[in-house]
Chains A and B, each alone.
Chain A
């Protein structure tokens, strides 16, 4: 049973380019969460999505960041016009339902480096 799959594992972008991070949840999971981890920090919540719906985006920066979870295909976190401060590890997690007693299962993360 495959776990949460994130790709790419490493992504290098130059300032001003776009970054696209993909997340395929575990089979049977319909809830996806994105977190960002800055160096020497814990994970910070960004956005919570269900299929075709954004449930909570309170942790998303107001500009340049967007997320989607289409009916078919992986969830995508998109960062437009990247800046040095976007360098971080981005983690995706999934759960079968939006209930607290269902633990979130994490992918291995995408490490984004901005040149």
Chain B
């Protein structure tokens, strides 16, 4: 079974600075998808960014980018020019290609943005 590990329960960053959230996963599959979701205090689950394992190029979405290292099974999220609205729980998630399509989540990292 696949597992996702987020080793940083909490992180903090100064407004306008850059922060990187870590995520590692364990799988025997070669093709899969990886996601970062944001959960603000309102509890919504908001998709931040996604990566297809067969693509070597790292995904980017505006201020958000990932560092995908397939051999190391690592999928970190970089937030540039941090804003107060970025404060939230961030969850890394894995999804198989084919099969059940369920998401496997890590335990999350709580990000605080200091003004």
- Which residues of A are interface residues toward B (Cβ below 8 A)? 31, 33, 35, 40-45, 48, 55-56, 58-59, 89, 91, 93, 95, 98-101, 103-106, 108-109, 111
- Measured CB to CB, the residues of B under 8 A from A are 4, 32-33, 35, 37, 42-47, 50, 52, 91, 95-98, 100-108
Contact A58 B100, CB 8 Å, known A42-B106, A91-B45, A109-B43: yes
Give bound CA distance, A45 to B101, whole Å: 10
Complex CA–CA separation, A51 to B43 (angstroms): 27
Taking a contact as CB atoms under 8 Å apart, the answer to whether B101 and A42 are in contact is no
Partner among A42, A58, A98 whose Cβ is within 8 Å of the Cβ of B107: A42
Q: How many A-B residue pairs have CB under 8 A?
A: 63
Among B97, B100, B101, residue most surrounded by chain A Cβ atoms (within 10 Å):
B101
Residues of B within 8 A of A108 (CB): 42-44
Taking a contact as CB atoms closer than 8 A, the residue among B46, B50, B91 that contacts A42 in the complex is B91
CB pair B102 A45 closer than 8 Å = yes
Contact B96 A43 (CB under 8 A): no
Contact indicator B102/A48 (Cβ below 8 Å) = yes
Contact assessment for B103 and A104 in the assembled complex, using a CB-CB cutoff below 8 Å = yes
B101-A43 in contact (CB<8A): no
Can you name the residue of chain B whose Cβ is closest to the Cβ of A41?
Answer: B107
What is the CB-to-nearest-CB distance from A94 to chain B, in angstroms, rounded to a whole number? Answer: 11
Complex-state Cα separation, A55 to B101, whole angstroms:
10
CB proximity of A75 to chain B, nearest CB, Å: 15
Chain A's closest residue to B108 (CB) is: A42
User: Can you list 13 A-B contacts with CB-CB less than 8 angstroms, sorted by A residue number?
Assistant: A41-B107, A42-B105, A42-B107, A43-B91, A45-B103, A93-B103, A100-B95, A100-B97, A101-B33, A101-B52, A106-B37, A108-B42, A109-B43
Q: How far is the CA of A104 from the CA of B91 in the complex (A)?
A: 14
Q: Give me 9 other A-B pairs in contact (C-beta within 8 A), A35-B105, A42-B105, A42-B107 excluded.
A: A33-B103, A45-B103, A58-B100, A93-B45, A100-B95, A100-B98, A100-B101, A103-B50, A106-B45
